[in-house]
DNA sequence: TATATCAAGTTTACAATAGAAACCATAATC
DNA sequence: GATTATGGTTTCTATTGTAAACTTGATATA
């Protein structure tokens, strides 16, 4: 007797899946870090680079451009010398903070309990 | 006068950053969908494939192996015929649910308000 | 005057990850 | 004997990410 596929409140077409769409916004490399860095106010390119040491300038530029295009952040050039560029969260961006906060919270909890899984490169067999 | 770098509760070394580490666990393609699908109970490979139509079997296998190695899910072979394999969340996996739920919630909110940014491939210049 | 520094990125080359499609072994059913 | 179901694997290609060097314009320093 073939096994039955059990119900699981699904499936839904992928373009209607709120989780999938939201992950498309925040899922790129370092995206959550960038948004998190902006939570307390505007921040310059070089400040973001300092907040997130492992990010390369290329990827930081990519993330900032995408987030701007999607309305999550805004970019403002300031007439300082040399001219500087400030990035800040839009209203839409601010709405993402609770979700990222929830991730940060599990992270802290797992670390403090010593239950954060070690992430080491898969042993290539 | 050179611009000052403003304080931002940081930087912290990347290996101590709870957000970065947590994103390493849930950040791979379709990872959150897999965990979300398992929230209500165990699920077989082919059921997960149905829950998440766009995922390829290759990537599904990859995600399941990684999540198992990191202690997020467990894998159990059942002596049915043909033999089937059930995946379920561990206690650690269950702790990730609130974070993913928060993402789902923003997603729903943005969709219902019609404020979900359209994700279309960047116009290649 | 020559050199160095800072901001905000580009550019190039390479590695890792993801997607698409075809394929496979076993067992049972048509 | 062919088909279906399960739980994958394999191969090829495309996209994404990493690393490191380089650029532009302006001011600051020796």
How far is B101 from B52, CA to CA, in rounded Å? Answer: 17
> What is the CB neighbour count within 10 angstroms for residue A21?
19
Whether B6 maps to a domain, the answer reads no
d(CA A20, C1' D23) / Å: 38
Percent of chain A, pLDDT > 70?
85
Whether A121 maps to a domain, the answer reads no
Whether B14 maps to a domain, the answer reads no
| Whether B53 CB is under 7 Å from strand C | no
Per-residue confidence band for B122, with pLDDT thresholds at 50, 70 and 90: very low
Question: Looking at the 3D structure of chain A, how many domains does it have?
Answer: 1
Whether B18 maps to a domain, the answer reads no
Whether B45 maps to a domain, the answer reads yes
In this prediction, residue B67 carries a pLDDT of: 98
Whether B57 maps to a domain, the answer reads yes
Structure tokens at A65: 């451009």
Residue A54's nearest nucleotide, by CA–C1', is D18
Q: Identify the residue among A12, A13, A17 best suited for mutation to test binding to B, counting B beta carbons within 10 A and taking the highest.
A: A17
Residue B124, pLDDT > 60, answer: no
Degrees to nearest 5, angle at CA B25 with B52 and A18: 35
User: pLDDT digit string (tens) for B61-70?
Assistant: 999 999 999 9
DSSP code of residue A15 = G
How far is A62 from A84, CA to CA, in rounded Å? Answer: 18
B104 near A26, Cβ under 8 Å? Answer: no
| Whether A121 CB is under 7 Å from strand D | no
How far is A99 from B83, CA to CA, in rounded Å? Answer: 39
Residue A2's nearest nucleotide, by CA–C1', is D5
Structure tokens at A7: 């119900």
Structural domain range at position A48: 20-112
How far is B122 from B42, CA to CA, in rounded Å? Answer: 38
Query: Which of A20, A50, A71 is nearest residue B33 as measured by Cβ atoms?
Result: A20
Query: Which of B8, B32, B103 is nearest residue A51 as measured by Cβ atoms?
Result: B8
User: Among candidates A36, A52, A39, A9, which has minimal Cα distance to A104?
Assistant: A36
CATH number, domain of B62, equals 1.10.10.10
Residues 6+ apart with CB under 8 A from B98: A102, A105, A106
User: pLDDT digit string (tens) for A67-98?
Assistant: 999 999 999 999 887 889 999 999 999 999 99
A107/chain B closest Cα distance in angstroms: 5
Whether B21 maps to a domain, the answer reads no
Whether B34 maps to a domain, the answer reads yes
Q: Measured on CA atoms in the order B29, B31, B33, B34, is the torsion positive or negative?
A: positive
Phi then psi for residue A110, to 5 deg, are -60, -40
B19/chain A closest Cα distance in angstroms: 5
Number of A:B CB contacts under 8 A? Answer: 163
In this prediction, residue A119 carries a pLDDT of: 74
Which residues in chain B are contacts of A94 at CB distance < 8 A?
none
User: pLDDT digit string (tens) for B89-120?
Assistant: 999 999 999 999 999 999 999 999 999 998 75
């Amino acid at each position: 007797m073939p096994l039955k596929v059990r119900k699981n409140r699904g499936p839904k077409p992928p373009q209607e899946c709120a989780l999938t769409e939201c992950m498309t916004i925040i899922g790129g490399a370092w995206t959550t870090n960038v948004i998190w860095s902006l939570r307390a106010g505007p921040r310059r390119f070089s400040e973001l680079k300092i907040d997130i040491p492992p990010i390369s300038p290329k990827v930081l530029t990519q993330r900032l451009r995408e987030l701007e295009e999607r309305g999550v952040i805004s970019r403002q050039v300031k007439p300082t010398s040399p001219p500087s560029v400030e990035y800040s969260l839009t209203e839409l961006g601010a709405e993402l903070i609770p979700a990222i906060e929830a991730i940060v919270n599990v992270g802290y909890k797992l670390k403090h309990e010593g239950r954060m899984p070690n992430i080491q490169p898969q042993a290539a067999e």
